[in-house]
A = this chain, B = another copy of it.
């Protein structure tokens, strides 16, 4: 399938693709917020920093309803570029893939049914005390993952948390993964310096040296991570003991990966990362460079291409804005794999354009 690139650990990636071909997935979207997202210049997952609180619930609503409830329109970047949930929603609906929303700690509750894990919104990681009840979130998520494993042939897990690459960077650095300058961004000009300053401030307050938390993933999350990482790690661990898991996202997924690697490396044999070509071709981040420090986990990329779209709000994705989120790449991969390729990227693009017109306008 030319629509999917085997980007890293190619043999394993092909293997994973063969295993999910024609099978029935369940898509879960883990939502949370972190005050970290409100540091000016850090996240483009909302028209302004304050409104990023509404992005995760609005994304969840878009997935389940095909439209948002808690905000008018759809979440946009400060430049008005629509959420990648538009891609996920289009792919999941086209392939009739069921969706569950999981709330790891969102300040605003989505106006759709969601699974609650008992978590609270994340605090600014500069406090060095970012996530409450990490153990509870993680354990609840693991219990949930064990049940979800029985409901489908495999799991696709995506996320919506503005500011999530910075909190991911926090966990990666605390655990000794050299992720400096390697995490992705929803902005074309990745604010690496600001992200590093933010993480370093958090590590300093928490009195943690780089790499000191190598064997303590939950503590790393507690100090400088976010609730999404704790929840997703638990879900992946609970599910992947029984069925394959496609971690749908960019560099944020590596913070989940390093958490799992420290707790139970064995389950990673059942895991792949599915993302977009905007991530794998990004020169300002290095997903492969982070993953290869953690484990031999394959990376697949959906070759979504908006360069000939009639809508400027989609064409602009080609300049490196947004790139990934809400499991966009993984959703596209799952839709294609479920249909054994009878859903093509071309068809998916038409569907995305239709939904764009309906939700954003022409």
Contact = CB atoms under 8 A, between A and B. Distances in A.
Interface of A: 24, 26, 64-65, 96-100, 103, 109, 111-118, 140-141, 143-144, 147-152
Contacts of A152: 151
Contacts of A141: 113
Contact of A147 (B100, B144, B148): B100
A98 B147 contact: yes
Given A98-B151, A99-B147, A140 B116 contact: no
Nearest to A115: B115
A116 B117 contact: no
How many copies make up the complex? Answer: 2
A203 B109 CA distance: 35
10 contacts: A24-B150, A64-B147, A98-B147, A98-B148, A100-B115, A100-B147, A111-B118, A113-B115, A113-B116, A114-B115
Contact of A143 (B64, B103, B115, B116): B64
A279 B7 CA distance: 59
Contact of A150 (B65, B96, B111, B140): B96
A92 B26 CA distance: 21
A24 to B, nearest CB: 8
Nearest to A96: B150
Given A65-B143, A143-B64, A143-B65, A150 B98 contact: yes
Contacts of A118: 109, 111, 113
Nearest to A64: B143
Nearest to A151: B151
Contacts of A109: 116, 118
